[in-house]
Structure 1
Amino acid sequence: MRPKRNERGTSDGLDRNKDTHARQQFGTELPHGDGKTWRFLAIGAGNTAFAYVITTALYYMLARRLHIVAIGAIANVICITEAFIAYKLFVFRARGHWLAQYLRCYVVYGGNALIGLAGLWLLVDALGVPFWIAQGGVMIVGIAVSYAGHDRFTFDEAQRG
């Protein structure tokens, strides 16, 4: 069966079989096409390394003065801003309003941040897992959620235009 074409003459992927589409939505299969997924993974690897270093450095610099949740919140503002700029310019190559997309980015990352902060609290404070292990594990969880959220929400309007 031939894929349907949208107004730009490209396949929109909506007529793929449901199993393949579901695997792509949940990050278990990489879609083919313009290289966006590969760019996301490459930039995301850099963002993840940046976030890990920043968050860990802030923790060891501020742990005696601030609670872990405050440290995590500070790190999230820095890391979300860096990731937004990288994704906008290099992954999704999105046009449109910077502020509106930045705020949508916070919705996506805000969910990840809440999960991450709760995960850090649970793993470090409640279960005694070393911070560096807990932080690495929590960051892995956010990758699939981040891609889906940015692709379908943060930069979606720009892609349609």
Structure 2
Amino acid sequence: MALTVMWLYLLPGSWPSAVSVALAYCLSLGVAFVAHRTLVFRVRGHVLRDFVRFVAVNSGGLVLNMAGLQLAVDVLGCPKIPATVVVMGLVAVGSFFGHRYYSFRRSPEAAS
């Protein structure tokens, strides 16, 4: 979220707000994967499968964030920072469940 806000301020005002989301996504993908895998879901094994699934869930979140921010800021005229917090917060909740039940899902016998 902080990277998105940073890009909102650094990019020229003529650029679509959604570009800030895409740039932040690109910069944070690797760190987010490691943090989710080790700190949030604490899983082992299946690194490549987990990464591909993580990217799939995050890509859906990226599209929702870009569309939501574009709609809120550039179409509805909402203030950038509050709109960013609300849109990204809602998408983050959805992404958590996507990661829990898809990206880092383990079968019951693998969890033992």
**Residue correspondence of structure 1 range 76-95 to structure 2 within 5 A:** 76-95=25-44
The alpha carbon displacement at 1:143 in A equals 2.9
Matching residue of 1:46: none
> Among the aligned pairs, what percent are the same residue?
31
Whether 1:111 and 2:60 are equivalent positions in the alignment is yes
The alpha carbon displacement at 1:160 in A equals 4.9
The 8 Å contact of residues 57 and 103 in structure 2, kept in 1 or not, is answered as yes
Query: In 1, distance between residues paired with 2:38 and 2:44?
Result: 9
- Structure 2 counterpart of 1:93, which letter? R
Query: In 2, distance between residues paired with 1:65 and 1:122?
Result: 15
Which 5+ residue runs of structure 1 have no aligned equivalent?
A: 1-51
Larger-gyration structure (1/2): 1
Query: In 2, distance between residues paired with 1:160 and 1:63?
Result: 52
Whether 1:70 and 2:14 are equivalent positions in the alignment is no
The 8 Å contact of residues 112 and 142 in structure 1, kept in 2 or not, is answered as yes
- Measured on the aligned residues, the alpha-carbon RMSD in Å equals 2.0
Which 5+ residue runs of structure 2 have no aligned equivalent?
A: none
Matching residue of 1:124: 73
What's the TM-score once normalised by structure 2's chain length? 0.83
**Residue correspondence of structure 1 range 1-161 to structure 2 within 5 A:** 52-64=1-13, 66-157=15-106, 160-161=109-110
Higher relative contact order (CA 8 A, sep 6+): 2
Would you say how many aligned residue pairs link Structure 1 and Structure 2?
Answer: 110
User: Per the alignment, do residues 159 and 139 of structure 1 end up closer, same or farther by CA in structure 2, a change over 3 Å counting?
Assistant: farther
- Structure 2 counterpart of 1:68, which letter? S
